[in-house]
Amino acid sequence: MSVNRTASPKSYIKKTWPIIILFFGSTLIDPLFGLVGLICMGFPLYLALTGKGKRHCSHYCPRGSFLGKFLPRVSLGWRIPGWMDSKTFKTAVLLWMFGIFGIFLFFAGTDLTRIAQVITRIMFVSFIIGILIGFFFQPRSWCKICPMGTASGLISKALAEKSRQ
């Protein structure tokens, strides 16, 4: 029997939503679980850097999975305004998010608990923003401006351009 080794792996995007609930729940038990959030931030970048493009978004992301599962039930489904879908706005959100993250991390110093709390807060705030945006606009509208999605897209584009040279 022949095996297609180039086939895309199976997508788990419809099933990973409990992970984000588990993540926030576990940080209530022990703030150090916030460090696990680094995987959520690092994995999309790792996949993009290894030439897999935005596979995290299409196959694994627990946040995208949550938005896709629950928001269609309550979303008003408005069309996202053009300015929100613009390159400028996406870049601004990316810089703002990473900027805030960097500043908070700087003030957290080497204290692991404080670092974990910073990660949890950033993830929680972006989760709530994602839900609010998904409530008013289409369910996964957050994915249009999500810093991790934007960063993965930029990395993939840069890699593709480099391979064309």
Contact positions vs ligand SF4 (CB under 6 A): 44, 56-57, 61, 63-64, 142-143, 146, 148-149
CB of 69 to ligand SF4, least distance (A): 12
Helices marked H in 3-111: 17-29, 37-49, 55, 62-74, 87-108
Whichever of 61 and 131 has its CB closer to ligand SF4, that residue is 61
CB of 91 to ligand SF4, least distance (A): 14
CB of 57 to ligand SF4, least distance (A): 3
Task: Kindly provide the b/e burial profile for residues 86-108, where b requires at least 16 CB atoms within 10 angstroms of the residue's own CB.
Answer: eeebbeebbeebeeebeebeeeb
Whichever of 115 and 146 has its CB closer to ligand SF4, that residue is 146
One-letter amino acid identity for 60?
Answer: Y
57/147 Cα distance (integer angstroms): 12
Whichever of 62 and 109 has its CB closer to ligand SF4, that residue is 62
126/64 Cα distance (integer angstroms): 12
Whichever of 90 and 118 has its CB closer to ligand SF4, that residue is 90
Contact between 162 and 49 (Cβ < 8 Å): no
CB of 122 to ligand SF4, least distance (A): 13
